[in-house]
Amino acid sequence: MKLLLICSSFIIILAGCKRKPSALLAQRWNFIAMDMPKLKKFLYVISEENDDAEITMKKLFLDNKLILRKDSSFDMLLMKQYIHGIWKYDEQKRILKLFDESANKVNIEFGVDTINEHSLHLDTDEFAIEKLAANHLIDPSIGDYLFHKHYYQFFLTEDNEHFSKLSEDPFSRENNWWRIKPLHYENNEQIKNRVLNHLAFWQLLFHDARKNERAYVSYNWFSSPLVIASNGVVMKLYGDVKKEWDENFYDSVQAQKGYEMMRKCFSKKIKYLETDNKYLRNEDIIKQLTSNFLEAMNGEKK
């Protein structure tokens, strides 16, 4: 009888220790795959030469993340769309609600199919997918293979990455507010600071890669007028980046002003650091671009 009571008490304790779904959700997650009708056709259309479906899927979701913080804030990067805001979980309906703080109001709802400490399965509808991806398709015809499906399911795994400060996290709002569309018209100083935040984001990517000895730096989760390669740095033509760049500003007029400001990064010649460490070299390039930008902008005030 005594043994039975002890076992019963142990079971009750275990049941009490079982974490609620809302508690399990509050962590970093990596998007790793998706499912939808005619998925293979979509993957074939977006694939690069010689890439099979598995490799294409990995490239599609490289550095796509869902970060649900305990303070109810979140950061999500999915299909190149960055969203920051507040998250809520309806345990009764098993629905995760993401409220976007930007002027775009890309509010998303995910049904939570499965969750444990290591994996998460989410589903959503065609309206959410269109809000996320519509402004980031290089070829609009790709939408014919992505949009208007009757279900979309995403598979996520836990991300064990930890940053002691939000300023060190490449996915935090602090390092991504350059691409959070403002609610109001911005003055020249605010546009200048938006460009500076974009440059700081670039610098952090290479600093983080060098500090953590990463095998690579992925560029597929954001859009930028800058192209940084092993043989130098250039700016794309405005027309080539307009669609995505405009989404970072109040309107297209302010977006073009931000682009023209960024051209001042090249007001002086860039000197390439002689080093075998590509991350150190690229970090130094961004530092020079930033210095050129600030010097040129400050010179205009005089």
Q: Are 34 and 154 in contact (CB under 8 A)?
A: yes
Angle (CA) 221 224 230, round 5°: 90
Q: What is the pLDDT of residue 215?
A: 93
The pLDDT assigned to 53 comes to 96
- Residue 211: Cβ within 10 Å count: 11
Instruction: Note the pLDDT of residue 14.
Output: 44
Give residue 15's pLDDT: 44
Q: Which residues contact 297 (CB under 8 A, 6 or more apart)?
A: 192, 261, 264
CA separation for the pair 241, 255 (Å, rounded): 10
Residues 6+ apart with CB under 8 A from 46: 56, 60, 142, 145
What's residue 18's pLDDT? Answer: 62
DSSP summary character for residue 180: S
pLDDT at 275: 93
Alpha carbon 288 to chain centroid distance?
A: 25
Average pLDDT for runs of 10 along the chain of length 302 = 50 53 93 98 95 96 97 97 97 97 96 96 97 90 95 97 94 97 97 98 97 93 93 94 96 98 96 94 97 91 64
Helix (H) or strand (E) holding 206: helix 188-211
Q: What stretches of the chain adopt beta strand conformation (E)?
A: 28-35, 65-68, 73-78, 81-90, 95-100, 108-115, 119-124, 152-158, 226-229, 232-235
Interval 232-255: pLDDT, tens: 899 999 999 999 999 999 999 999
Let me know: does 265 contact 258? Beta carbons within 8 Å. no
Domains for the chain: give ranges and CATH numbers: 20-158 (2.40.128), 166-301 (no CATH)
The candidate with the shortest Cα–Cα distance to 196, out of 173, 175, 168, 217, is: 175
Q: What per-residue confidence (pLDDT) applies to 13?
A: 43
SS3 content of the chain, % helix, strand, coil (to 5): 45, 20, 35
Q: Which two tokens stand for residue 279?
A: 């991350």
Contacts 24+ apart (CB under 8 A), 14-18: none
**For residue range 20-38, what is the model confidence (pLDDT) as tens digits?**
878 999 999 999 999 999 9
- pLDDT computed for residue 11 by the predictor: 47
